Structure 1
Amino acid sequence: MQAFEFINNLIPPLKLGDKAGMALSWMEEIRTDSLPVVDQGNFLGFLREDVIFDQNDSSQYIKTLPLEGHSCWVFTDKHIYDVLRVASEHQSNLVAVLDRNHNYQGVITMEDAISAFADSLSIQSQGGVLILSMNMTDYHLSEIARLVESENSKILSSFISTDPLDDTKIKLTLKFDRADLKHVRATLERFGYRIIDHYQEEQGMNDSDDRIGNLLRFLDI
């Protein structure tokens, strides 16, 4: 799940000597609103199409246009989680990938990153989801897993986020290997765990659009 595995080779970098008109043509062809700009292997940032439109001069050279996201990049050996974090921090649909010598290697699209992230969390596997609220000090996944396995179920993946209603608590999202979680819920509640929400996967959800929908439900967004 390292960044270099998800580089999209269909997205070309712009050079400083390229013209704005060519950049717009490439953006339209590959259906993106920004492209990376590279000079002698060095990543300089992203050029957005709205910047070109504002300048209203397709003959301008890229070197004369303002760039964004100069620090919107990760190293090749970083995990896909880091790609998503950097993209979120910069509100960008693209993240550049550099080797440890800071040489540009390519970019990762958020569509590819989300797909990889969904796979890593077993989003596409059939099964239900429970969301628990608890104090961080009460979080012991091994104990929760023991209770779950006592009901002949298994946790496929887990995700922790802060509780927006109480900053002293966390939300623990759990994905299971079965859809019917009635007995699992009863056992967790009997041992004092507070379940604040649940989702049950429907059969036959395999489309790419469902992948993102499942991910957002899993993350409780």
Structure 2
Amino acid sequence: MTARELISTVPILQPSDAGTKALRLMNEYHLTQLPMVVDNKYVALVEEDQIMDLEEPEQLLESLQYNGASRTAIQEGAHLFEALKLFHEFKLCALPVVTKENEYLGIITKDNLLAALAQYNGAKEAGGILALEMDPRDYSLSEIARIAESNDVILLSVNTITDPSGKLEVLLKTNRQELHSLVATYERFNYTIKYIYSEEQEEDLVKKNYDLLMNYISM
């Protein structure tokens, strides 16, 4: 999924706009950043904090100073993971999308980005989550997938992260709620199970708490 596919349309700002107008639009669209565009060319992201620091809210936006971070943008053909990196690196709530000629196309909002990531990670699909822990040198996606397939389990997504100790956590989103047989197979192949989560487990916990409450009431 490319940056262009994630575009939202929001109002743009111009240097001749007053700070009060920018604040009103930010409040209306629930954003703390809006793009400044001149002659269809992207100039910078205007920050709410910048406007609040003005001596007079009616001052024009042309009086603001912009650094490198505030000129952050993403090319229309970039992958959404690049957008995610920029959102994190520059603490953005909106990311302008531009052409190679710096023509402004629109912005990516956090909501759009999260929705796209949910699709990629299978978050919207029903199924349990299983986390394995291992040394990075022991990681073999082909073997992990083969073991899942041998248990008639489809891996909807696979994500990895290295913790501060250097251990690799491999997060598996599956298409199955019942994961006991899969867990047993991974353990048979000497994989360490860090944690398991499924809606089935959550329902069991709710039922257990309900039964405890009923027993307490009947005492």
TM-score by length of 1: 0.85
**Range moving further from structure 2, 80-89 or 69-78:** 69-78
4+ residue runs over 4 A deviation: none
Aligned to 1:179: 177
Q: Percent identity?
A: 33
1:143 Cα offset (Å) = 0.9
Letter in 2 for 1:133: E
What CA distance in whole angstroms lies between the structure 2 residues aligned with 1:23 and 1:7? 20
Distance 2:44 2:162 in 1: 31
Q: Which residue matches 1:139? A: 139
- Give the whole-Å Cα distance in 2 for the aligned partners of 1:46 and 1:144: 44
- Structure having the higher Rg: 2
Gaps of 5+ in 2: 202-219
Partner Cα distance (1:22, 1:202) in 2? 50
**How many residue pairs end up in the alignment?**
200
Amino acid at match of 2:170: L
Partner of 1:16: 15
Name 1:47's counterpart in structure 2: 46
Alpha-carbon separation, structure 2, partners of 1:145 and 1:52: 52
Contact in 2 for aligned 1:93/1:109 (Cα 8 Å): yes
* Partner amino acid, structure 2, of 1:115: A
Contact 2:178 2:200 in 1 (8 A): no
Deviations 1:23-61 (A, max 9, x none): 111112212122111223332221122222221412211
SS of the counterpart of 1:197? strand
Name whichever of 140-149 and 62-71 sits farther off.
62-71
Tell me, in whole angstroms, the C-alpha distance in 2 between the residues paired with 1:58 and 1:183.
63
* Code of the aligned partner of 1:199: Y
State the alpha-carbon separation in 2 of the partners of residues 98 and 135 from structure 1. Answer: 41
- Structure 1 residues 15 and 110, CA, compared in 2 at 3 Å: closer, same or farther? same
State whether residues 36 and 47 of structure 1, in contact with CA within 8 Å, keep that contact through their aligned partners in structure 2. Answer: yes
**Contact 1:121–1:156 (Cα < 8 Å) also in 2:** yes
Residue equivalent to 1:60:
59
Aligned residue for 1:52, secondary structure, equals helix
Q: Is the 8 A contact 1:44 1:67 kept in 2?
A: no
**Deviation of the 1:202 alpha carbon:** 5.8
1:91-141 deviations in Å (ceiling 9; x for gaps): 111111111222221110011101111011110111011111122222211
Q: Residue in 2 aligned with 1:85?
A: 85
1-structure distance, mates of 2:34, 2:82: 20
CA distance in 1, matches of 2:53, 2:176: 53
1:34 and 2:33 are equivalent in the alignment: yes
Q: Which residue of 2 aligns with 1:105?
A: 105
1:161-180 mapped onto 2 (5 Å cutoff): 161-164=161-164, 166-167=165-166, 169-180=167-178
Q: Cα deviation per residue 1:165-220 (whole Å; 9 max; x = unaligned)?
A: x12x32111100001111101101110111111211369xxxxxxxxxxxxxxxxx
Distance 1:70 1:48, change over 3 A: closer
Task: Name the SS of the counterpart of 1:29 in structure 2.
Answer: helix
- The root-mean-square deviation of aligned C-alpha atoms, in Å, is 1.7
Give 5+ residue unaligned stretches, structure 1: 204-221
- CA drift at 1:3: 0.7
CA-CA distance at 1:70 after TM superposition:
3.0
Deviates more, 1:21-30 or 1:175-184: 21-30
